[in-house]
Amino acid sequence: MKEIETITSVHNPRIKQLLLLQQKSAERRKTGLFVVEGQRELQHCIDAGFEIDTVFESQESRVESQGSRVESRESRVKRLKVSPAVYERIAYRGSTEGVIALVRSRSLTLADVRLSDAPLIMVLESVEKPGNLGAVLRSADAAGVDAVIVCDPLTDLYNPNLIRSSIGAVFTVPCVACSSEECIAWLRSHGIQILTAQLQDSSLYYDTAMTGATAIVMGTEATGLTDVWRQAADAHIRIPMLGRLDSLNVSVSAAILLYEAVRQRTIEH
């Protein structure tokens, strides 16, 4: 059996590159690599067919690592051990079973999305916080959406915070980045109704039919949707706000609206 190299210094070039990939979207774009941390997240990544480049395993890992499984499936994967001190430096959290991987990125386009007979699409315009986007992806996975489309994104889809907050849903849900204009044209070409979440000129969300092909569109919490979406909408929907505040976290709102679509479709069948 080939002996596995052990890295004991945070100044090792491989560790420096990993840290750069965690911190800089420009480095992720330049190298075509991103970082996945954790057994569960890496398994979702492997199941989705992503190509693993390097697996870093903590010397203190007490569970069977994905490293050996990946190695058996892809002989080109580099497998490295790291000392506890190094792992503590590169890990975002402690409960990840001692495995971090560098993975080759890939970009889905709208043409890659496979639609069901009555597709349900989640569209997010200019969402800035990766944690919010990750949480929306978890809800999208649970609701069985056909795709999540991120229009004019302010964060890249391989941001470590996004992957972590999505607990791997970024790999289980088809996720596409494009412009709002491209998305609108694509939705119209497939006969998908556009429902925009907004307070102005809107109907209560549960009074709007979502059993057919539907795209639910949401903007940022601070500014909402731009006029291009308001004008493109087939209907405007809102969640009733009974308190003194006028907005919910975007991930909470997305979950409410997606599960209304699930509820209506369950009743219909």
User: Residue 68's pLDDT is what?
Assistant: 47
Q: CA-based Rg of the chain, rounded to a whole angstrom? A: 21
Per-residue model confidence as pLDDT tens digits over 136-185: 999 999 999 999 999 988 888 999 999 999 999 999 999 999 999 999 99
- Helix, strand, coil percent content, the chain, rounded in steps of 5: 40, 20, 40
User: Residue 61's pLDDT is what?
Assistant: 63
Alpha carbon distance 156, 246 (integer Å): 28
Which domains does the chain carry?
A: 6-104 (3.30.1330.30), 110-268 (3.40.1280.10)
Q: What is the pTM of this model?
A: 0.88
Q: Which of 171, 174, 177, 179 is nearest to 34 (CA)?
A: 171
Q: Which of 27, 38, 251, 47 is nearest to 158 (CA)?
A: 27
* Cβ pair 189, 215 in contact under 8 A: no
Per-residue model confidence as pLDDT tens digits over 67-111: 445 544 555 789 999 999 999 999 986 655 789 999 999 989 999
Alpha carbon distance 91, 25 (integer Å): 18
Per-residue model confidence as pLDDT tens digits over 5-43: 889 999 999 999 999 999 999 999 999 999 999 888 999
SS (H, E, C) 219-237: CECCCECCHHHHHHCCEEE
